[in-house]
Amino acid sequence: MCARIIVVLAVLTGITGSPNVTIRSEADSVDMLAHPNSVPETVEETELFGQQEVLEEEEAAEDVMATGELNPNHYPAQRAAKVVQHYLNTRYGSPYRLFGLQRVHSGNAEDVADSGRKYQLEISVQEMIGNTTEKCSAEVFFAREEQHRSVEVQALCKDILKIDTKAQEEAFYQQCKMNQSLLSAQNLPDSNGHIEPDMKPLWHLGTVASSFVMLNQSTENTLYNMAQVANITQLPTENDQLKFDCHILLHEMVSQEIVHWKLLFTWSPVGGVKVPHMEQLPHCHDCERSTNTN
């Protein structure tokens, strides 16, 4: 009887698709983007988790049938669109330019012979720091898992990528180069969601660097959010690139796991962010480390 009641409630409330996806208004999306990669906890999500077993078969069917026109609020469209965010950050992100997915307007998926699946998307992308939003077109291609190929992304945004942040970046770069002590920070954001203003460039850098991991790890079965920069430390360097050691926490929304990664990355206004080394850390501190190097 309980199972029947839950099913009826699910139908009455209009819940469809995967258990962790909620339909939000544009105002809700803007609130989430105040912390672009924070992990939202809502009443709707809690209710959906309680119905996970009931909706398991429906979710599996949706994943298998993820071709043709897609519901913008369901997992297949959201996963592909989130990859576009990570792609833009790896290409154009900086301490003063950070991109977030605001909304998926439409999506279409098609199988490409035996090689994988291609997604065509219309999405709204927000440059978080300057609070500028633009509607962009994107194409995302996921190769079949057995091919061991990274996701391929193309994105067309006319204006948002032209935002000029050179002055702020150069000032921050010179500050880091001239400081007698190397920069470091922990717990960005803290348990209350707060980040000191002078630490925000480090948070932005850590978030951009995390997009390299999330882009590299993304598949049709994952949905990553940045949760926290646990710590970030500037390292000595003798060249023009600033160098950072960083420990980040990622939230994988499908499995609900918090995944720890250690990154070594560089940044300069001219060279952008580069991540020569990424290492996934174990769930417990006493476990033997497993390494993933790029």
Please state the three-class secondary structure of 199-214 as a single string: HHHHHHHHHHHHHHHH
Q: What is the pLDDT of residues 113-158, one digit of tens each?
A: 889 999 999 999 999 999 999 999 999 999 988 877 889 999 999 8
Q: What is the pLDDT of residues 5-20, one digit of tens each?
A: 333 333 333 333 333 3
The angle, 0 to 180 degrees and rounded to 10, between the axes of the packed helices 52-64 and 2-12 is: 50
Query: Token pair for residue 217?
Result: 């790890």
Amino acid letter for position 206:
G
- Pair 55, 19: CB distance under 8 Å: yes
Report the pLDDT value the prediction gives residue 60, as an integer from 0 to 100.
44
Report the pLDDT value the prediction gives residue 164, as an integer from 0 to 100.
94
- Pair 267, 284: CB distance under 8 Å: no
Amino acid letter for position 260:
H
- Pair 209, 224: CB distance under 8 Å: no
Cis omega before residue 189 (within 30°)? yes
Report the pLDDT value the prediction gives residue 238, as an integer from 0 to 100.
86
Report the pLDDT value the prediction gives residue 284, as an integer from 0 to 100.
53
Q: Which CATH architecture has domain 166-281?
A: Roll (3.10)
- Pair 262, 293: CB distance under 8 Å: no
- Which residues are CB-contacts of 266 (< 8 A; sequence separation ≥ 6)? 237, 241, 242, 243, 244, 273, 274, 276
Report the pLDDT value the prediction gives residue 215, as an integer from 0 to 100.
97
Q: In the chain, which stretches have pLDDT less than 70?
A: 1-66, 284-294
- Pair 132, 126: CB distance under 8 Å: yes
- Which residues are CB-contacts of 105 (< 8 A; sequence separation ≥ 6)? 72, 122, 123, 124, 135
Task: Give the start-end residues of each E strand in the chain.
Answer: 68-70, 99-112, 116-127, 132-143, 152-156, 184-188, 224-235, 242-252, 257-268, 272-281
* Residue in the structure block whose two tokens are 């926290």: 228
- Pair 278, 212: CB distance under 8 Å: yes
What is the model's pTM? 0.76
Rounded CA gap, 86 and 217, in Å? 11
Q: Give the Cβ contact number of residue 126 at 10 Å.
A: 22
Report the pLDDT value the prediction gives residue 240, as an integer from 0 to 100.
94
